[in-house]
Structure 1
């Protein structure tokens, strides 16, 4: 199985990866955001969304369709849940300010890719951490440096994940829980080989 209800599935000996990269491309094209300007965040800090009763209403069907598409995407992109749910509150009577907020989420999805931003060429790191079978934290942010290859970008992302895991390990140690032997999964073979090579180099001094 490679696809299921809009989800892309990749299976190999290490496990199963589920993502919605193709779905993101489809909804960006469907709602006409292929040539839109990218946004660095899914929602602006100001102004806050409100009922905006004095402004005119926008097409309710179009607005709800956009919200529905984004809600389905949160299955694999939990970092947009807050912004989507804020906009979903106004489906009964959406106003231009609400529509602009939804459009910003789409423009953010256009920028939040794993190949790098066309503006500053910085890649976007994403990772998640589990305690047992429970998802307890996740990250998706633009890297601070410009990578010169996909392998380097993936290695930077794995390093960020490692930092988060180390922080979690120390927090758990404060409660007397030892999880120092924590596996970290990376889906890029080149990044894995770089890490193995560095480990061998360190062992030889």
Structure 2
């Protein structure tokens, strides 16, 4: 069983992913794959340097994340150019990790699952972690370096709550509940999906 897990920034998606790992699922973290691709010597770095120039590469050869993030938030065309480099590489590595997994349940942790439009055919179910925008904002502001303006920009750059929920086979509402209650819901889903017979969509 292959699950696509997504949610807006600050929704608690990473916490849910951790609970699935605790339940015995194999986690394919596309953010971690993206970071590896943009480290010094990463497979994406030659194309990024060629497309955006040396100003977006740090002295040690990694992606200058802060500068690229600022460009991507302000320039939609630049964001699409970056995605055209990264997304095929991320997808290929994610599917390779899933094929190598030994668990009966594989969870793809994909922040931009809905936005990319490419993941639905690759997973059996889409699980969305959802909460109010006010809750997202409050949580992200607790992270170092985040301002109200930056949080608002990040939320605006992602799919709307309505779009994510419309794409979901299941929704976990992570708002006003305890971590224990959230964990119990994840464990219930892991048990159900881990034992469920997979049928072709």
User: Which TM-score applies when normalising by structure 2?
Assistant: 0.26
Higher alpha-carbon Rg: 1
